[in-house]
Structure formats: C-alpha cells, structure tokens
Structure 1
Amino acid sequence: MTAALMDGTAVARRSLDDTRTRVSAYRETTGRTPRLATVLVGDDPASHTYVRMKVNRCRQVGIDSLRRDLPAESTTAQVVATVDELVADESVDGILVQHPMPGHIDERAVFDAISRGKDVDGVTANAFLDMANGHEETFASCTPAGIVALLDAYDVPLSGKHVVVIGRSSILGKPAALMLLGRDATVTICHSKTRGLAQFVSEADIVVAAVGRPELIRGEWIKPGAVVIDAGYNEGNVGDVAFGPAAERARLITPVPGGVGPMTIAMLLAQTVSAAEQRES
C-alpha cells in the first residue's frame, strides 16, 4: 500500500479564494477592510518567517495587516499593554500573538489579554473552555481547525473512529483532541512520555502527530489503511512521523511541508474575516 498525499496547499488555496471573495464583499458593504494585527516578541528567525508569511497571505486575499514587533527583553506587562492597545483599536478585527515567546514572558497572561471577539487564533482560556463545552462563541485554534478541515476535504469519516493524538500542548494537541471528540471520534491523547506509544498508535484509525519530536512516530507502528496527519515541523523539513515507512502502510498522509501548515494560515485569515463580519452584525 502506498498512501495518497493530503495536499494541504491545494485545500488551503480554495479556502483563501473563498476568503478573498468574502473580503471583497465585506469591503463593498462596509467601506472598510478587515485588519489582522500581529504581535512578535524577540528575534527568533523562525517566528519572523512565520509572521512574514502570514502578512504576505493577508496581502494576497486583501486583508490589512498591522505589525507590532517588540524587543526580546520586553516584560510580560509591556506585551500585555501592547495587546490591550490592539483590543481597544477599532480598526483591528483580529489579533495574533506569535508563539513561542521568550521564556521569561507569561504566555498565558498575554494570550488571555486578547478579547473574545479578536481572538482569531483561538488561544485564550475562554476559547479552550468553549471548545471543551462544544460552544461556538469563540474562534477555534487555527491548526486543529485546519486539521479537521483537511480531514473533511478528503472525506475522512470521524464519527466512531479511534483517533490517537500525540501531543498535549494547549494550542495544538489538547484543542485538536477536543475538536475531534466533538465530531464523535473516540480520542486517545498520548505524548512523548507515554509508555507503550507504539501500541496506541497501532490501534488508531487516524493518527495526529503534534509532539514536536522529529520522526518520533515510526512507520511500522501505523495501522494498515490508517490516516496520518503530521502537524510536526522540525529542522530540515522533517515532521513528527517517519514519512517514507508510514506512507507504505497508511491510506492517506500529509506531507511536511505542504500539509497542515498551509491550512493553519488559511483558517487564521478566514476567522479574521469572520471576526470583522461579526462586528457588523
């Protein structure tokens, strides 16, 4: 068996085309353009690359962008104050705080300073609570939302399926598990310290790898015919799954890059337009 690739770039392109259409309609109706503000703390090269990519995608679909770059030595209070200014700014529809931030910053305090209506990356405690309770008052975490959208695009059934999520971060693993549980999947959460990880993976109909360890998930662990979503991105364009061996057993698999990553940005921009639309309703 050789797995078919789940082309996140192509699926994201369709989403971006839809977002571009929505931006145009919103501008014609309201006379203004949706705006996404980004907050970046420090000089991490990867973070700067990610923010630049998001700003470029904004430009491509017609969304305005506003950057707030802060020095690495900024305090938590200073970063929170910047977020507070953007919350109060009526021209801003969505706020993205790029993570990770420098270790001395209290990320949770910064995230939770974002108002519900502008939390288009779904990172606040309120967003997590709403996902846990099945409510839709806030926006979903973008990468998990992108994973679910990609599964839907490839007509992968979720109800009753056993999904193993490897990873427990508050912005990826945990919200992904909650969203899949909300779609009636049976979800097992594992992590890098799980004993017998291979056994859990071998029983999964769908594997979501989001642990941040290069090729931690071995190809021989994959159940024949399973669907493999690799949300990891490590140095050298390597995911969390040993791609070649896994592709020999899986039915569908995401490449790295070109799988989950493009979907994350597509969800972010779609939710920014939704935030703008909700302000007008």
Structure 2
Amino acid sequence: MTKIIDAIQMCDEKIFTYKKEIEEIKKIIGKTPRFIIINASNDEANARYIKGKIKEGEKAGLDVEVVKFEDDCNNEDVLNIINKCNKEKIPVILQLPTFKHLDTESLMKAINYNVDADGFAREWIGEINLGNDKVLAPATPKGVISLLEYYNVDIQGKVALVIGKSNHVGKPLCSMLMNRGATLINANSKTSDLSSLVKMADIVISCVGKQNLIKSEDIKEGAVVIGVGFTYVNGKQILDFDVDEIASLGKAKFVSNRINCTGKATINSLIDNVIELYKMNFNIK
C-alpha cells in the first residue's frame, strides 16, 4: 500500500519548537528576531512563495519584512538593503528569480554567509561537502532530508537517485544524502536511459520540473518517491511526475503529495536557518 506523505504534521511540530526558540532569542537580544525577504521581481510565483514564508515565519514568532522593488530598480538599490542586513546581522534572502536587468549573481554573493538564510553561500556549501550539514543548508534539500527522517526512511546503504544538478537543490542534496550513507546516483533531464536508473533506486528525488520525466512503471517495489521540481500544465502547477499514477500501482512505499509537502518543508527549513543564524551571530546555545 502506497502512502501519500505530506509535511503538515512535521512542520506543525517543528513550528511549535521554533516558537520556543524564538522566544528565548527575543529575551536575549531584547527584540523580536527579524527576517527580511527581498523581492526584486513581479513574478507571480514569487509573490505566492513569499506569502507562505510570511505566514509560517510569523506563526513561529519572527518579524518578517518584505522589501519589494519595482522594475525601475537597479543593483545599487538592492545592494543597499543587503548591506544593511550584513551590518545589522539580519537574516535575509533574495527571492529568485529577480528582474532580468539585475546582476543576480553578484547580489547573491554580496550576502554575507552569517545572514544568508537561504544557505547558498559558498561557506555553507563547503561545510555540506565536508559532511557538516546539521546546522545550515539550502532550504529545499534540508526540507527533503527532514521529510525522509521524519518518516523514518532508511537512507544508509540505500541507492538514492537525485534527478537535477542545480547548485541550490540537486548538488547539495546529493552531498547531504551521501553524508547519511546513501549510495548516490545523480542524473538530469538529459540523462540517457533514465528509466534504468529509476529501476535501481530505493529513493527517487526529482528536482527537474519536466512533465512525465519519470515513468511510473519503472518505480522499484518499496521505493520512496519525492517530487521537488514542478511545471505548469494548462496554467496549473503540478509536480514533475504523476503522483496519482505512481500511487495507484501500489509499488512505492511513500510518494510525496503534490501540495503541502516539499514546498512547505522548504519554508519550514528556511525558518530553521534563520534561527540558527541568530544563535550563531549572538552566541546563543
């Protein structure tokens, strides 16, 4: 029997813990911990993601501030906010994507690692590659690992297939799985004979966002299937594999839900990153 998993219960439990931690931080620093989201775009998906981050952040007790720029902004405008966060040690993220005329890469690099709530800084990626990912990591891979651990998915010694090679999701997720003893296979949307790799995998995590990329009949008996990537079909956002079809076969042990799963776990992990940055910056045990 395939179980459709979501992140609702896990995130609710973690938010309860985060509220206690944030209250302690507030007592120590004498003010409510702040978290700043820079939105330099008019992207509708960005607005939706930010709304979720505000809701969950405030639920945990954070003071979440969104700095919205219009399309006449320039790099210096955004950099001024980043420099303010660096100076005042306020955790910050630059919501991606940004306006095309902005130099996103240089802006991302301008965020000091000790306020980088996304966990994208080279210092954090370096720590992950050295096996140290328990404190801070990119929020989406961290959320996926949290889900696997919450549902007691055995990672050590298992064959894990990660489909995707992005610097912010696919690559760090590979390292984090290897840190936990997985035998790792990394593929991408252009991998030839992807189906043979899917057939081998005990854990399949798809981070691409390409409809019908994974053939449901290739799923191994008792496998765990997690969808991270998504695409749009007829204006509706869906995961990059057909969850319902995979579930109906009854072969997989766990399949992630289309909604309230990896996206919700990502936001939850982002809040965890914010808390860890405050602990680090203010020497809070």
Supply the distance in 1 between the matched residues of 2:13 and 2:4 (Cα, whole angstroms): 17
Supply the distance in 1 between the matched residues of 2:28 and 2:74 (Cα, whole angstroms): 41
Supply the distance in 2 between the matched residues of 1:204 and 1:7 (Cα, whole angstroms): 21
Instruction: State how 1:196-275 maps to structure 2 within 5 Å.
Output: 196-235=193-232, 236-247=236-247, 248=249, 249-275=251-277
Supply the distance in 1 between the matched residues of 2:218 and 2:102 (Cα, whole angstroms): 38
Residues 141-178 of structure 1: per-residue CA shift (max 9 Å, x gap): 00100100110001111111110001111111111111
- Of 97, 100, 105, the residue aligned with 1:100 is 97
Residues 82 and 30 from structure 1, CA distance in 2 versus in 1: closer, same or farther, beyond 3 angstroms?
closer
Report the CA distance between 1:206 and its aligned residue: 0.1
Report the CA distance between 1:28 and its aligned residue: 2.8
Q: Which runs of 5+ in 2 are unaligned?
A: none
Indicate the SS of the match to 1:262: helix
Q: Which runs of 5+ in 1 are unaligned?
A: none
- Of 118, 123, 143, the residue aligned with 2:120 is 123
Q: Confirm or deny: 8 A CA contact 2:82 2:110 kept in the other structure.
A: yes
Q: Which TM-score applies when normalising by structure 2?
A: 0.92
Residues 18-49 of structure 1: per-residue CA shift (max 9 Å, x gap): 11111122223332221111111111111011
Supply the distance in 2 between the matched residues of 1:29 and 1:138 (Cα, whole angstroms): 20
Whether 1:110 aligns to 2:107 is: yes
* More moved, 178-187 vs 132-141: 132-141
Q: Which residue of 2 aligns with 1:277?
A: 279
Q: Which residue of 2 aligns with 1:88?
A: 87
Report the CA distance between 1:220 and its aligned residue: 1.1
Q: Matched residue pairs, number?
A: 278
Amino acid at match of 1:128: I
Amino acid at match of 2:107: V
Report the CA distance between 1:137 and its aligned residue: 9.4
Q: Which residue of 2 aligns with 1:16?
A: 15
Q: Which TM-score applies when normalising by structure 1?
A: 0.93
Report the CA distance between 1:105 and its aligned residue: 3.0
Indicate the SS of the match to 2:110: coil
Q: Confirm or deny: 8 A CA contact 1:122 1:138 kept in the other structure.
A: no
Supply the distance in 1 between the matched residues of 2:267 and 2:68 (Cα, whole angstroms): 19
Indicate the SS of the match to 2:211: coil
Report the CA distance between 1:120 and its aligned residue: 1.6
Aligned residues with identical type, % of pairs: 26
Q: Confirm or deny: 8 A CA contact 1:163 1:206 kept in the other structure.
A: yes
Q: Which residue of 1 aligns with 2:148?
A: 151
Indicate the SS of the match to 2:67: strand
Report the CA distance between 1:77 and its aligned residue: 4.3
Amino acid at match of 1:280: F
Please give the root-mean-square deviation of Cα atoms over the aligned residues, in Å. Answer: 1.7
Report the CA distance between 1:86 and its aligned residue: 1.9
Report the CA distance between 1:195 and its aligned residue: 0.4
